[in-house]
Structure 1
Amino acid sequence: MPPRTGAADVPVDVELVLAIDCSSSVNDEEFALQVAGMANAFRDPMIQDAIQNGTEGAIGISVIQWSSERFQKVAIGWRVLRGPADADRLASEIEAMPRTIGTGATSIANALLFAANSFNGNGMEGYRRVIDMSADGENNQGLEIHVARAQVLARGITINGLAIRNEFPNLDIYFEDRVIGGDRAFIEVAKDYADYRNAIFRKLFRELRDVPVADGSDLDPSWAASWKEARLLKPR
Structure 2
Amino acid sequence: MNWRVSIGSMLVATLISVAAAAAPGSKSQLAKAGDDAPSVDVELVIAVDVSYSMDLDELAIQREGYEQAVVSKEFLQALRAGPNGRVAVTYFEWSASTDQKIIIPWRLIDGPESADAVAAEIMKTPVRRGSRTSISGAIEFAMPLFDENPYRGLRRVIDISGDGPNNNGVPVAGPRDAALQKGIVINGLPVMVKEPSFATMDIDHLDWYYEDCVIGGPGSFVVAINDREKFKEAIRTKLILEVAGRVPERRIVPTADGEPRVSCTIGEKIWQERWGR
Q: Does the TM-score normalized on the shorter chain lie above 0.5?
A: yes
2:147 counterpart SS class? coil
1:164 matched to 2:199: no
Number of aligned residue pairs? 216
User: Runs in 1 of length 4+ with deviation above 6 angstroms?
Assistant: none
Counterpart residue identity of residue 86, structure 1 = S
Instruction: Name the residue aligned to 1:18.
Output: 46
| Worse overlay, 204-213 or 172-181 | 204-213
- Equivalent in the alignment of 1:113: 140
Q: Following TM superposition, by how much is the alpha carbon of 1:53 offset from its aligned partner in structure 2, in angstroms? A: 2.2
TM (norm. structure 2) is 0.74
Instruction: Give the aligned partner of residue 84 of structure 1.
Output: 112
Change (3 A) 1:216 1:70: farther
With 153-162 and 81-90 compared, the bigger mean Cα shift is at: 81-90
1:197 aligns with 2:225: no
Alpha-carbon offset, residue 180 of structure 1: 0.4
CA distance in 1, matches of 2:84, 2:125: 28
1:80-111, Cα deviation, whole Å (9 max, x unpaired): 11111111221121122223x52210000110
1:34 alignment partner in structure 2: 62
* Deviation, structure 1 residue 213: 2.1
- Maintained 8 Å contact 1:202/1:216: no
Distance 2:190 2:250 in 1: 15
Rounded to whole Å, the distance in 2 between the matches of 1:16 and 1:51 is: 13
Please tell me whether the aligned partners of residues 16 and 132 of structure 1 are also in contact (alpha carbons under 8 angstroms): yes
Instruction: Confirm or deny that 1:63 pairs with 2:91.
Output: yes
Amino acid at match of 2:169: G
| 3-state DSSP of counterpart to 2:96 | coil
Q: In 2, distance between residues paired with 1:9 and 1:197?
A: 33
| Structure 2 counterpart SS, 1:120 | helix
Change in Cα spacing, 1:83 to 1:203, as seen in structure 2 (3 Å) is same
Aligned 8 A contact 1:49 1:83 in 2 = no
1:106-156 deviation per Cα after TM superposition (whole angstroms, max 9, x unaligned): 000110110111111210100000000000000011011111111111110
Aligned to 1:54: 82
**Please, what TM-score do these two structures have when normalized by structure 1?**
0.86
Which deviations, in whole Å up to 9, do the C-alpha atoms of 1:165-203 show, x marking residues without a partner? 134441101001100000100000111444220111110
Gap runs ≥5 in structure 1: 218-236
- Give the counterpart letter for 2:207 in structure 1: D
Identity %, equivalent residues: 36
Q: Which one-letter code corresponds to 2:105 in the other structure?
A: G
Q: Is the 8 A contact 2:39 2:84 kept in 1?
A: yes
2:71 & 2:100 partners in 1: Cα distance? 26
Larger RCO: 1 or 2 (CA < 8 Å, sep 6+): 2
Larger radius of gyration: 2
Helix, strand or coil: the match of 1:79? strand
Give the Cα separation in 1 of the matches to 2:81 and 2:111: 9
Which structure dedicates a bigger proportion of its chain to strand?
Answer: 1
**1:9-52 residue CA offsets vs partner (Å, 9 max, x unmatched):** 11000000111101110122211110011111112101011122
* Root-mean-square deviation (Å): 1.7
Aligned residue number for residue 131 of structure 1? 158
- Aligned: 1:187 with 2:222: yes
**1:119–1:6: structure 2 CA closer, same or farther, 3 Å change rule?**
farther
Which runs of 5 or more residues in structure 2 are unaligned?
A: 1-26, 197-202, 253-277
